[in-house]
Structure 1
Amino acid sequence: MFISPMLLETAHSPFSHSNYIFEPKIDGHRLIFSQQGGKIKLYTRHETDCTRQYPELLHPFGDDIIFDGEVACTDPETGAIDFEMVMNRFQAKKPDKIRQITVTQPVTYVVFDILSYKGQDLRKLPLMKRKEILSSISMPNKHFGIIPFIEAEGETLFSQMEAQELEGMVGKRMNSVYESRRSPSWQKVINWTYAEVFITGYRKDEFGWLTSVVTESGRLRPTGIIELGVPPKAKQAFYGVSKSIVTGEDKNFVYLEPRIRAKVKTRNWTKNGMLRSPAFVEFNLSTG
């Protein structure tokens, strides 16, 4: 049984509040775990069935149950949560490949909410009551865990997330019911990484600015495309300047001299040196 998940709004900055609990934000992908009539089904937040991708999670509980949580992978060498590894797991389709990477890249399902138990819908209960029920349930193997939380001290937790270079934190109202929509009762605070890039081109059809950085050898290296966070005035200023620095074009892109610099924020850098979901912050107008 699929239940549309409760989605997060974005807080502008870390905060503390006596009516909130605060949890680490796990850098994986959302997973609804459903056991009904003894049959287990796993779903993404968009109701994509991903049951076969995670065989280590197909261990039954004693009663029917529905969890909400995040599935993640940990790099065995560094111990850090690795988003690219869990995406590799999610994209695996062939049975032989799935069996292989279940051994080399095992997942952990980090449960943070319980939506149904023993046939009873729990979504109207306050969050802290749901947490109490969740804490009473024994997990079937090492691939399941329950997310920790602290009360009130969100800024303290966020400082710890920054120090450990983790994705951020989530603040949740203690009395919040579970709503299958985006709600201000749950708020995320992202631990952004910032970078300076050159804008070296743009898409011809849908919006997107090509970005590059200068390597130690002085050459430009592509780092991805900015699609997020660009206000209308910034777009207008960019296209006004870009006309005079065009170097060429192809079917999809117009290319520019590397003369426009911008500050971006990003979740992190991928292993192959690309910005992950970069968002525009501001143009860098310094000339030094």
Structure 2
Amino acid sequence: MFISPMLLETAAAPFSDSRYIFEPKIDGHRLIYSQQNGTVRLFTRHNNDCTHQYPELLLSFDDDIILDGEVAFYDPATGLVDFESIMTRFKAKKPDKIQQLTGTLPVTFVIFDVLHYKGQDLQQLPLIQRKELLAGLTLPSDRFGLIPFIEGAGEALFKQMQDLSLEGMVGKKKDSKYYNRRHSAWQKVINWSYVDVFITGYRKGEFGWLAGVPTSNGDKIRPAGIIEFGASPTHKKAFSGVSKALITGEDREYVYMEPRIRARVKMRNWTKAGLLRSPVFTEFIV
């Protein structure tokens, strides 16, 4: 049984509030765990069945239950969550590959809410009561865990997330019901990193600026990804006005330019391939 998950709105800044609990934001992907009549099925936030992707999570609780959480991979070398590894697990399709990755990249289901238990729909209960019920559950293995939370002190938690280079935090109203949509009772604050890049071209089809950064020795500009978000119509118009004089060539997909235009972007982190993860344009650098 799938339940549409409650989604986060974005807070303008870190905040503290005694009406809220605050949790670390886990850098994995959303997972609805559904155990009905003893059978376990796993779903993404978009109702895609991913049961076969994670054999280590196909373990049963003491009674039927529906849980909301994040599936993540913790790198044993660093102790940090590795988003690229969870994407490797998610994209694996062949049973032998999935079995192999279960051994080399074992996932953890980090639970932050309980929606049904023992035949009862809990979505109308206040969040803090659902948290109390969660705390009393016996987890089926060490591949399952509960997200920690604190009450009120959101700014202090966010400072910890920054110090540990983690993704951010989530603030949730203690008395909130579980809404099956995006709702302001749950708010996220992302721990963005900022970097300056050169715009080295643009995509011919849907909007996208090619980003480049200097190589380690500084004598070349290497590709660093595509900026798809954040630019306003005013920014795009300003870019169009100066880019034509900088064109050096093109192919079927892209137009290439001299790296003269600089921009600041915010991003989640660098990928292992040296690319910007989820870059968002913030401003041009003059």
Shorter-chain-normalised TM-score: which range?
A: over 0.9
Aligned residue in 1 for 2:185 = 185
> In the alignment, is residue 81 of structure 1 matched against residue 94 of structure 2?
no
Residue 240 of structure 2 aligns to which amino acid in structure 1? Y
**CA–CA distance in 2 between the matches of 1:128 and 1:197?**
44
Tell me whether 1:150 sits opposite 2:182 in the alignment: no
The SS at the match of 2:159 is: helix
Q: Does 2:212 align with 1:212? A: yes
Measure the CA separation in 2 of the matches of 1:164 and 1:231: 32
Residue 72 of structure 2: aligned partner: 72
> 1:34-91 CA deviation, whole Å, 9 max, x = no partner?
0001110000001111101111111111111000000000112211110000000111
- 1:55 matched to which residue of 2? 55
SS of the residue corresponding to residue 139 of structure 1 reads: coil
How many angstroms apart in 2 are the aligned matches of 1:170 and 1:202? 34
Deviations, residues 193-212 of structure 1 (Å, cap 9, x unaligned): 11100000001110000000
Deviation at 1:119, TM superposition (A): 0.6
Length, aligned pairs only: 285
- What amino acid maps onto 2:142 in structure 1? K
- Does the alignment pair 1:22 with 2:10? no
1:119-162 per-position Cα deviation (integer Å, ceiling 9, x unaligned): 10000000001101111111000000000000000000000000
Q: Which residue of 2 aligns with 1:245?
A: 246
- Where does structure 1 differ by over 3 angstroms across 4 or more consecutive aligned residues? none
Q: Name the CA distance, whole Å, in 1 between partners of 2:191 and 2:126.
A: 28
Question: Which residue of structure 1 lines up, in the alignment, with residue 233 of structure 2?
Answer: 232
Partners of 1:253 and 1:6 in 2: CA distance: 38
What residue number does 1:128 align with? 128
Structure-1 separation of matches of 2:238 and 2:125: 50
User: In structure 1, how many angstroms separate the alpha carbons of the residues matched to 2:155 and 2:29?
Assistant: 24
Task: Report percent identity of matched pairs.
Answer: 65
CA distance in 2, matches of 1:34, 1:243: 54
SS of residue in 1 equivalent to 2:42: strand
5+ long unaligned stretches in structure 1: none
Q: Give the corresponding residue for 2:277.
A: 276
Q: Which residue of 2 aligns with 1:172?
A: 172
Q: Could you tell me how far apart the structure 2 residues matched to 1:204 and 1:97 are?
A: 36
* Distance in 2 between residues matched to 1:150 and 1:226, nearest whole Å: 35
TM-score, normalisation: structure 1: 0.98
SS in 2 for 1:85: helix
- Which residue of 2 is the match for residue 256 of structure 1? 257
Q: Give the C-alpha shift of residue 216 in structure 1.
A: 2.4
Q: CA RMSD in A?
A: 0.6
